[in-house]
């Protein structure tokens, strides 16, 4: 009495389909399987029709194929079965074969072959084939999970970036409008007060003057903070103007000469493109300040075969290959991710002593990166889903930039120095 063997990867009886016309050979094979201790059920067929029928109605775990049968052969059976069940293990069980035939067999997708004269190899071959199949399926499942989790991470990244940008717009607006208005109100009150103080009280007048000066400085600070959060020029005058303004600020702050050129005529591009290019540019300039030791930066923005490209070159020490590919380079990773979300890419090159070049290339017609689908919303963290939906609704009608423009210009605004952003110096456009 043979002990039946089950294996961790074969939880149940193994269903075997055997294509064999010789009854005696079939019995020998069945015997070998039993001898090997396999727990199995076996169905023998000897024609194409029966083979196909069995394949469909009772899909096996393993197929054992004879090489040659009258009117049908193992190769044809293999290719027919592969069309529908590519993962099924196929083992040829044959008489003596030439090397070429064996090679041909394995090339056409057979998992293994066993000679009828050495049937003791059959059970190990079946088990190995099943284990390989299991591994293959497991690998595919893992790959699928990985792909899915990558997709979810991307959706989350899009979501977080939009939240962040929206938050910046909101805070920028509040700082600009509310603090600005309060400060202006304060200044007017101070003026009212000092105009009522008798002239001979010099000390009080001096104090009022210094307070007024202090308020002016605070108003400047409020403008600067608001602009740094989200430069109004980006939404009002478009990307080229915003890049020029940022380059000007950079030059003023660092003394590094920065020149922007562009062949873009249309001032205002897609809002997502504007934001992506502008934020990548800011990150690039930050890197130049921190790492490049450069004296000159050239920037060129252009349209090129359906793409918008930004070329930023500095004449500094030059980024190394190791720094470019380092997975810990989170700043560079963030820039790449921003471009990738719009279907674009970033190429970074460096030459020792000759500087670094960052090339950003994003298609002008890109898929919307916004997490607008129900799936994306459900992929986002639960506590934020409602916020995401609530924010989607007005966006459908009004872009964030439009909303920003509209809300920063309320009628009858008191804050005189901060009103009318283009003239306010908020963005300090050149």
Q: Which does 61 bind (CB under 5 to 8 A by kind): Mg ion, ligand ATP, none?
A: none
Determine the interface stretch with Mg ion among 86-94, 123-131, 266-274, 327-335 (rule: CB under 5 A): 327-335
In the complex, the smallest distance separating the C-beta of residue 278 from ligand ATP, rounded to whole angstroms, is: 16
The residues near 113 (Cβ < 8 Å, ≥ 6 apart) are 91, 92, 93, 94, 97, 102, 105, 106
Question: Do the Cβ atoms of 130 and 62 come closer than 8 Å?
Answer: yes
Length of the chain: 430
In the complex, the smallest distance separating the C-beta of residue 289 from ligand ATP, rounded to whole angstroms, is: 9
Question: Applying CB under 5 A, does 287 fall inside the site for Mg ion?
Answer: yes
Q: Which does 369 bind (CB under 5 to 8 A by kind): ligand ATP, Mg ion, none?
A: none
Determine the interface stretch with Mg ion among 146-154, 225-233, 286-294, 415-423 (rule: CB under 5 A): 286-294
With respect to Mg ion, which residue has the nearer C-beta, 287 or 408?
A: 287
Q: Quick one: which of 229, 332, 342, 418 contacts ligand ATP (CB under 6 A)? A: 332
Question: Applying CB under 6 A, does 290 fall inside the site for ligand ATP?
Answer: yes
With respect to Mg ion, which residue has the nearer C-beta, 109 or 334?
A: 334
Question: Do the Cβ atoms of 111 and 132 come closer than 8 Å?
Answer: yes
Identify the bridge partners of residue 45 per DSSP, sorted by sequence position: 19
| Closest by Cα among 69, 111, 104, 114 to 90 | 111
With respect to ligand ATP, which residue has the nearer C-beta, 232 or 350?
A: 350
Q: What b/e readout covers 350-363, taking b as 16+ CB neighbours within 10 angstroms? A: beeeebbbbebbbe
In the complex, the smallest distance separating the C-beta of residue 287 from Mg ion, rounded to whole angstroms, is: 4
Total binding residues toward ligand ATP, as defined by CB under 6 A = 15
Determine the interface stretch with ligand ATP among 45-53, 218-226, 315-323, 411-419 (rule: CB under 6 A): 315-323
Helix (H) or strand (E) holding 108: none
**Over 219-287, what HEC string results?**
HHHHHHHHHHHCCHHHHHCCHHHHHHHHHHHHHHHHCCEEEEEECCCCCCCCHHHHHHHHHHHHHHHHH
Q: Which does 319 bind (CB under 5 to 8 A by kind): ligand ATP, Mg ion, none?
A: ligand ATP
**How far is residue 376's CA from residue 368's CA, in Å, rounded to a whole number?**
12
Angle between helices 382-397 and 122-174 (to 10 degrees): 60
Q: Quick one: which of 23, 153, 330, 351 contacts ligand ATP (CB under 6 A)? A: 330
The residues near 287 (Cβ < 8 Å, ≥ 6 apart) are 331, 356
**Number of alpha carbons in the 13 Å side-chain half-sphere of residue 290:** 7
Determine the interface stretch with ligand ATP among 66-74, 176-184, 256-264, 324-332 (rule: CB under 6 A): 324-332
Question: Applying CB under 6 A, does 331 fall inside the site for ligand ATP?
Answer: yes
With respect to ligand ATP, which residue has the nearer C-beta, 81 or 288?
A: 288
Question: Applying CB under 6 A, does 194 fall inside the site for ligand ATP?
Answer: no
Q: What share of residues in the chain are helix, strand, coil (percent, to 5)?
A: 60, 15, 25
- CA distances in angstroms from 232 to 97, 214, 252, 407, listed in the order given: 79, 25, 19, 12
Find the residue with minimal CB distance to ligand ATP.
331
| Closest by Cα among 93, 84, 26, 98 to 56 | 84
With respect to ligand ATP, which residue has the nearer C-beta, 122 or 292?
A: 292
Q: Quick one: which of 36, 316, 415, 417 contacts ligand ATP (CB under 6 A)? A: 316
Q: Which does 317 bind (CB under 5 to 8 A by kind): Mg ion, ligand ATP, none?
A: ligand ATP
In the complex, the smallest distance separating the C-beta of residue 161 from ligand ATP, rounded to whole angstroms, is: 16
In three-state secondary structure terms, 413 is coil
Tokens 């930023």 appear where? 312
Q: Quick one: which of 287, 315, 408, 424 contacts ligand ATP (CB under 6 A)? A: 287
The alpha carbon torsion through 172, 174, 178, 184 (nearest 10 deg) reads 0
In the complex, the smallest distance separating the C-beta of residue 287 from ligand ATP, rounded to whole angstroms, is: 3
Determine the interface stretch with ligand ATP among 2-10, 105-113, 189-197, 316-324 (rule: CB under 6 A): 316-324
Question: Starting at the edge strand that comes first in sequence, how are the strands of the sheet with 296-304 ordered?
Answer: 257-262, 296-304, 307-314, 355-363, 345-351
With respect to ligand ATP, which residue has the nearer C-beta, 123 or 319?
A: 319
Q: Quick one: which of 66, 244, 249, 314 contacts ligand ATP (CB under 6 A)? A: 314
Question: Applying CB under 5 A, does 282 fall inside the site for Mg ion?
Answer: no
With respect to ligand ATP, which residue has the nearer C-beta, 54 or 314?
A: 314
Q: Quick one: which of 109, 238, 331, 343 contacts Mg ion (CB under 5 A)? A: 331
Residues that bind ligand ATP (CB under 6 A): 287-288, 290-292, 314, 316-317, 319, 323, 329-332, 356
């Amino acid at each position: 009495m043979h002990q039946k063997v089950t294996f961790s990867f074969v939880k149940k009886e193994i269903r075997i389909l055997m294509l064999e016309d010789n009854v005696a050979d079939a019995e020998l094979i069945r015997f070998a399987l039993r001898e090997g201790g396999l727990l199995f059920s076996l169905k023998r067929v000897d024609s194409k029709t029966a083979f196909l029928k069995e394949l469909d109605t009772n899909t096996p775990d393993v197929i054992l194929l004879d090489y040659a049968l009258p009117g049908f052969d193992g190769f044809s059976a293999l290719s027919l079965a592969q069309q529908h069940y590519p993962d099924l293990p196929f083992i040829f069980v044959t008489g003596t074969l030439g090397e070429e035939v064996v090679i041909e067999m394995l090339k056409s997708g057979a998992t293994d072959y066993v000679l009828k004269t050495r049937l003791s190899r059959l059970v190990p071959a079946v088990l190995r084939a099943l284990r390989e199949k299991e591994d293959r399926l497991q690998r595919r499942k893992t790959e699928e999970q990985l792909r899915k989790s990558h997709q979810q991470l991307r959706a989350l990244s899009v979501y977080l970036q939009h939240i962040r940008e929206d938050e910046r717009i909101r805070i920028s607006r509040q700082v600009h409008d509310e603090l600005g208005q309060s400060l202006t109100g304060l200044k007017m009150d101070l003026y009212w007060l000092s105009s009522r103080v008798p002239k001979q009280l010099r000390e009080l007048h001096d104090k009022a003057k210094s307070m007024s000066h202090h308020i002016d400085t605070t108003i400047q600070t409020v403008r600067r903070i608001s602009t740094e959060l989200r430069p109004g020029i980006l939404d009002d005058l478009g990307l080229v103007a915003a890049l020029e303004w940022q380059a000007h600020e950079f030059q003023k702050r660092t003394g590094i000469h920065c020149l922007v050129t562009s062949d873009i005529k249309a001032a205002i591009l897609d809002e997502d493109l504007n934001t992506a290019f502008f934020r990548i540019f800011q990150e690039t300039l930050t890197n130049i300040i921190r790492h490049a030791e450069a004296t000159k930066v050239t920037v060129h923005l252009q349209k090129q075969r359906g793409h918008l490209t930004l070329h930023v070159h500095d004449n500094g020490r030059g980024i190394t290959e190791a720094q470019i590919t380092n997975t810990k380079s989170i700043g560079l990773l963030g820039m790449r991710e921003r471009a990738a979300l719009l279907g674009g890419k970033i190429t970074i090159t460096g030459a020792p002593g000759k500087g670094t070049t960052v090339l950003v290339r994003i298609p002008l017609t890109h898929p919307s990166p916004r997490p607008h689908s129900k799936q994306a919303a459900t992929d986002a963290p639960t506590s934020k889903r409602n916020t995401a939906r609530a924010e989607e609704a007005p966006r459908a009608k009004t872009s964030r930039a439009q909303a920003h423009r509209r809300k920063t210009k309320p009628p009858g605004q008191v804050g005189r120095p901060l009103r009318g952003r283009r003239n306010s110096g908020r963005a300090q456009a050149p």
